Amino acid sequence: MPITTQLVSKLPSSVKVIAKLGVGFEKIDVNMCRHRDIEVCYTPDYGTNTVADHAVALLFAAQRHLLTFHNSIVEKHQWNYKVAGKLQELNTMTLGIIGCGRIGTCFADKMRPFVKQILTHNSKNSTTNTLKEIFEECDIISLHIPMSTMNHHLISSDSIAQMKRCPILINVSRGGLIDTKALVQALKNGQISYAALDVVEGEPDIDEELVKLDNVLLTPHVAWYTEESKRALRTKAIEDILRVLRGERPIYPVPD
């Protein structure tokens, strides 16, 4: 549920802290909370390895067209390697990672032995690759950035037009980073060869055209989940709530 200006304004003065179970806090009116002297915390590092593992799984499944082969066998009773078209060796491919925080860095470490090279983009670090370089040079592009006004529809018809290598697109961050209509069109015309998405715009309501495509693999915003990560998520949030109630600073306040 969004924590809006209207909702925050109605909270009693006894409310001292709001803790977000997860990384994204774009649905919380942080400025209004601060105006009301309400501390806002989040849990940015509870599932780093888990989300990175899921991104790896999506990448391998997409690059090897595993779902295509599975559906061909189960639905059409075909036993034919040609159903997925021409496959490329992973160690000849360039991976582009947009976002070099905890998860993006962990994902890069996991993938480094498998790909030809890795290009990274971090908007706060001028020594990393530009988005233009990522779009033009990468065979696989994986998104690991938070949702923000600046990042909304980062993958759009304009950015897709810059993609020279018909890349695989992976998203384990936020659905709003991708313009769904532009993605559907790109998947249909081959500008993007495959999309492996754990998050989609407007979830859980999914664009009907996207679901119908054969070159799409979807999971239901589950990249964060293992029993261990769920336990860590709750524990870290509760510990920060208790810190605030004791008059201490939380370890994970939302950034300015």
pLDDT(194) > 80: yes
Q: Which residues are bridge partners to 125 per DSSP?
A: 122
- Quick one: average pLDDT of 83-96? 95
Q: Please give the structure tokens belonging to residue 99.
A: 């976002």
CA 203/CA 33 separation, integer angstroms: 26
Mean pLDDT check: name the lowest of 66-70, 147-151, 230-234.
147-151
Q: Indicate the burial class of 130 (C-beta count within 10 angstroms; 0-12, 13-18, 19 or more).
A: exposed
**DSSP-assigned letter for residue 101:** S
- Quick one: average pLDDT of 72-92? 93
- So what's the pLDDT on residue 123? 86
- So what's the pLDDT on residue 126? 83
Mean pLDDT over each residue of the chain, to the nearest integer: 95
- Quick one: average pLDDT of 228-256? 95
Q: Which amino acid is at 117?
A: Q
pLDDT(195) > 80: yes
Domains of the chain (ranges; CATH) run 5-46+227-245 (3.40.50.720), 48-218 (3.40.50.720)
For residue 182, what are the CA distances in angstroms to 7, 174, 190, 253? 34, 16, 12, 35
**Which amino acids are annotated catalytic?**
174, 203, 221
Q: What is the pLDDT of residues 5-35, one digit of tens each?
A: 999 999 999 999 999 998 888 889 999 999 9
